[in-house]
Structure formats: C-alpha cells, structure tokens
Amino acid sequence: MVKKRGRPRKKEVQQIEEQKKEIKKAIKRDYLFAVGRRKEAVARVRYYLKKEGETEINSRKLSEFFPTFTLQQIVKKPLEVVKLKIGSFSIRVKGGGKRGQAESISLGIARVLEKYDSNLRSPLKKAGLLSRDARIKERKKYGLKRARRAPQWQKR
C-alpha cells in the first residue's frame, strides 16, 4: 500500500530550493565545492562539472600523491559506491598524516557528490561516507607525561 502525500512540507521545499540555488551557483563558477576533515587533515574539494580529467591532489596525480593501493581505494570509495567514473576533481589537502588526508578527501568527495545529486545521499549514507569521524587526539594534561600517562609511582 502506497501512502499518498499531500503537498510537500516546508522543510522539504526549503531543502530543494537551497539545492537549486547551490547548483545555480556552481554552474556560474563551473564547480561544486565541499570541505572534508579528519583528525588534523583538511581537504578542500572542487568537482568540475564541465571538465573531464583526472583527480588532482595538491597539483599532483592521485597515484603520485597516494602511492599505496589502500589509500587510493579510500579516496575512490565514494565514487565506487555511487558507480561513477572518476570525474575532474581538484583537491587541496593539508595537515595530518597520509591516512587522515585520504579519509578527509573521501568525506569531501562524498559531500560534493551529495550536492551534485541529492539522490546519491542514501547510498553514500548507507556506506557511512557522509559522517565525520569526530575522534581527534586528546590533549596533554599537566602533571602527566602524555594525555593519560602518569609518571611512575612507587609505593615504598
């Protein structure tokens, strides 16, 4: 049994209008933009709509920037989930280590794809690619050697 819905809710209408505005802005500037973060790494991702080409990360090819296969797979995962070929992405990433950078790029690409087509949200969400991993390094506390490591203590 299919439920019939009347007119769309205000929130839905607002979301659709915002998406349309975002796409219009993107068409004016030829790309969609999103930011992905993980630990200390921040990736600024641009998805060029009209241009065909390879993914550039800090002006280098993907295979050059991430020589290991596992890191390349992390970056390509959002595209594999939605079954898209690699489009023309320009990515600026800084901070953190290689793994954190790869995961931040993955989040940025997933967010850009969601902006590009809202129907891609559910497969990306199911794959867990739209959620920001909030785990970061715990700060060092005074009186301790590290975040939780206390100095050696002798009873006698």
Q: What is the pLDDT of residue 125?
A: 92
Q: What is the pLDDT of residue 4?
A: 57
Residue 138 lies in a domain: no
Residue 32 lies in a domain: yes
Contact between residue 107 and residue 43 where contact means Cβ atoms under 8 Å apart: yes
Residue 91 lies in a domain: yes
Residue 119 lies in a domain: yes
Residue 53 lies in a domain: yes
Closest CA to 92 of 141, 34, 135: 34
- pLDDT higher than 60, residue 124: yes
Residue 51 lies in a domain: yes
- pLDDT higher than 80, residue 85: no
The DSSP output letter for 118 is G
Tell me the residue type at 105.
I
Contact between residue 121 and residue 131 where contact means Cβ atoms under 8 Å apart: no
pLDDT band at residue 55 using 50, 70 and 90 as cut-offs: confident
Q: What is the pLDDT of residue 3?
A: 59
CA 124 to chain centroid, in Å, comes to: 11
- pLDDT higher than 90, residue 45: yes
Count of domains forming the chain: 1
Q: What is the pLDDT of residue 25?
A: 67
Residue 132 lies in a domain: no
Q: What is the pLDDT of residue 54?
A: 78
- pLDDT higher than 80, residue 151: yes
H or E, element range at 38: strand 31-38
- pLDDT higher than 90, residue 97: yes
Q: What is the mean pLDDT of residues 26-55?
A: 85
The domain that holds 121 is classified in CATH as 3.30.230.10
Q: What is the mean pLDDT of residues 44-54?
A: 83
Residue 4 lies in a domain: no
Domain holding 67, by residue range, is 21-126
Q: CA Rg, the chain, in Å?
A: 20
